[in-house]
Amino acid sequence: MSDKKHARLSPSASSRWINCPGSIKLAEQCPTPPESVHAKEGTFAHGLAEKCLLNETDAQDYIGKHGFVGGERFDVDTEMAEAVQEYVEYVRSHVGEMFVEKKFKLPWVHKDLSGTNDACTYDEKNKTLYVYDYKHGKGVAVEVDWNSQLMIYGLGAVHSLKKVVDQVVFVIVQPRAYHADGPVRLFILDSVALTYWGLHVLKLACARTEEDNAPINPGTHCKWCPAAGVCSEKAKAAMAVAKTTFDQPVLPNPSELTGIDIAKVLGVAEQFSGWVDEVKNYAYAMLEQGKPIPGYKLVSKRANRKWSNEERAAQTLLSAMGPDAYKKKLVSPAQAEKAIKKLGLSPEAILQGLVYNPEAGLTLAPTTDKRKAVSVISPFIDDMDLLQ
């Protein structure tokens, strides 16, 4: 697989440069940070999905096969195949003309605005365009409502396909990350509203990125910014919330913070930790280019041993160990359900009483989260305290 080249005004980074126009020029002054292994894995998973849609195959057909992205090897395992197959099946569930990895340019919005949409289908009968975006990540669930990346893809698809479109259905499929609305999320917009957004919001945002003093606005959109490690505005915002400085890095005890301060810290925690990671990536890029950083150097990573020839190793180990050379693992409930369906049987009848959803515990979430709040009374409160 070859790595994709991103446009200067990349749709995938649009939430950042729409909110922070100055980030474009600031990022151009920085060395390109190394692509994370998670990003490379996502690229590989997208390639697998593309192959399935174009060749009319299933992701499970490729389990055990591998490929390379950016010099890194990735294997199609059961988890990846399951996730990709969920996306593939959802795209196939819509009738109409299908377009996979459709490239487009939007010079009428800005000369540097272009991209490649994962997939879209056009339902001519209902004059409806479905725009799909597969998210392989499992760290953060991506919201679909007013998602600028998808809306740019929608604009590109509407104007490049030359079809009559009354409404656009934006779809995010993210099987590996929990979301209150499930792995498939939809957002519907009529084509007139989408075009209005393109002309009056997106076009203005693109133009602002070229201003000499384009504003720099720190926020949650900073997470994947190439300039996050050197952005003075982001550092100021993070330090202000932490109530500390680089010269005196002493963080206050949580018990000394007010409820409002705690809310501020929680609100900036993700971008602050992301900023630290970006500083590390920036430092790595500097050292790679021979620029010194006092007290730090690049060293070789520890590598786990691998079989130089798996087929020969299997034959040798089978002779020496017999069946103990392999470890068997029971298929997951989801895999069993799909396999039973293919046999024409009822998964509900066969799996009844065999599957349950374990309690995953509680987690901290902002009030904007769609999940219902859980009321918890500490078991450590003394009975006498309750009577006071």
Return the minimum-mean-pLDDT range out of 156-170, 239-253, 307-321: 239-253
Q: What is the pLDDT of residue 286?
A: 81
The predicted-structure confidence for 186-237, as pLDDT tens digits, reads as follows 999 999 999 999 999 999 999 999 998 888 887 777 777 877 767 777 666 6
- Per-residue pLDDT band for 6 (boundaries 50, 70, 90) equals low
Could you tell me if 28 and 117 lie in one domain? yes
Q: Please indicate, yes or no, if residue 330 is contained in any of the structural domains.
A: no
Long-range contacts of 49-56 (CB under 8 A, 24+ apart): 49/84, 49/87, 49/88, 49/118, 49/119, 49/134, 50/100, 50/101, 50/118, 52/84, 52/85, 52/88, 53/88, 53/91, 53/92, 53/98, 53/100, 53/119, 54/100
CATH label of the domain that carries residue 87: 3.90.320
Query: Has residue 366 been placed in a domain?
Result: no
Residues 127 and 272 both lie in one domain: no
Rounded CA separation 167/107 (Å): 22
* Whether residues 204 and 226 fall in one domain: no
Segment 4-12 shows an average pLDDT of 75
pLDDT above 90 for 263: no
pLDDT digit string, tens, across residues 16-44: 999 999 889 888 887 777 788 888 999 99
Residue 387 reports pLDDT greater than 50: no
Q: Which of 208, 231, 246 is the last residue of a domain?
A: 208
pLDDT at 168: 96
Q: Answer yes or no: is 4 within a domain.
A: no
Does the pLDDT at position 385 exceed 60? no
Residues 80 and 137 in one domain: yes
C-beta pairs of 336-345 under 8 Å, 24+ apart in sequence: 338/85
Among residues 268, 288, 308, the one where a domain terminates is 288
Same domain, yes or no: 32 and 167: yes
Position 178 in a domain: yes
Full domain range(s) for residue 180: 11-208
More confident residue, 295 or 88: 88
Asked whether residue 182 is domain-assigned, the answer is yes
Euclidean distance between CA atoms 68 and 74, whole angstroms: 6
Q: What is the pLDDT of residues 290-306, one digit of tens each?
A: 888 888 888 887 777 88
Report how far Cα 193 is from the mean position of its chain's Cα atoms: 26
Q: How far is residue 143's CA from residue 220's CA, in Å, rounded to a whole number?
A: 13
Give the model's pLDDT for residue 335: 84
CB-side neighbour CA atoms (13 Å) of 63: 13
Question: Is residue 181 domain-shared with residue 274, that is, in the same domain?
Answer: no
Can you read off the two tokens belonging to residue 310? Answer: 């798996």
Is 328 a member of any domain?
A: no
Same-domain pairing of 35 and 142: yes
pLDDT digits (tens, 9 = 90+) for 105-129: 999 999 989 999 999 999 999 999 9
- Provide φ and ψ at 26, rounded to 5°: -65, -40
Q: Per residue in 96-110, pLDDT tens?
A: 899 999 899 999 999
Residues 40 and 166 in one domain: yes
> Do 200 and 144 fall into the same domain?
yes
Q: Which of 96-100, 285-289, 353-357 has the highest mean pLDDT?
A: 96-100
Domain boundary (288, 316, 341) is at 288
Do 36 and 137 share a domain, yes or no?
yes
pTM: 0.65
- Give the strand pairing for 72-75 and 66-69: antiparallel
Distance between CA 167 and CA 157 in Å, rounded? Answer: 12
